[in-house]
Amino acid sequence: MALINSLFGKKKKEFKANCLITKEPIEKGFGFLLTTAQVVASRKYWDMIMTEPETLSYTVSHFKNQPSGTQMRTMIFEKYATISKAWIISDSIINYFEVDKAEARENAKKWWASEGVFSPEKTGPADQVLEATEFTVVKNYAILEAGRGRVTV
């Protein structure tokens, strides 16, 4: 019977993860774990997001003073700033963030060990974690300024 169960029994699905930003696979035990507040506080991150091929037209429209572009950038900001779970991210993107890398790596190891259950302190939507003034500064940069130096209008 044990042989039959080992051949036909259900196997536990292996826990895997992809970087939430680059979508590249992350090997078990690797990567960095950041909170939404840590992610959205990065100007480099917003410059990248607002100039990706999918969002570039909204950025150009925004800088041409077209309200539709600004409206879409606001929606993009809200999409990311309201994420309540921690972000597992790859080594290739960590330098976009001014964080304690050793702590973020250690948090990722805890996240892997718990199969994605562990959450670091201050996990949650950015507006619930950041001070109101800091959140406003982050939001204003993301919506009004991000990508300015990367586009020609």
Domain segments of the chain as ranges: 17-150
Give the global pTM: 0.89
What are the backbone dihedrals phi and psi of residue 25, each rounded to the nearest 5 degrees, phi first? Answer: -65, 145
Largest CA distance in the chain: 71
Cα separation of 153 and 144, whole Å? 15
Cα separation of 102 and 50, whole Å? 28
Confidence of residue 34 (pLDDT cuts 50, 70, 90): very high
Cα separation of 135 and 111, whole Å? 26
Which tens digit of pLDDT belongs to each residue from 57-112?
999 999 999 999 999 999 999 999 999 999 999 999 999 999 999 999 999 999 99
The single-letter DSSP state of residue 10 is P
Mean of the per-residue pLDDT values of the chain? 93
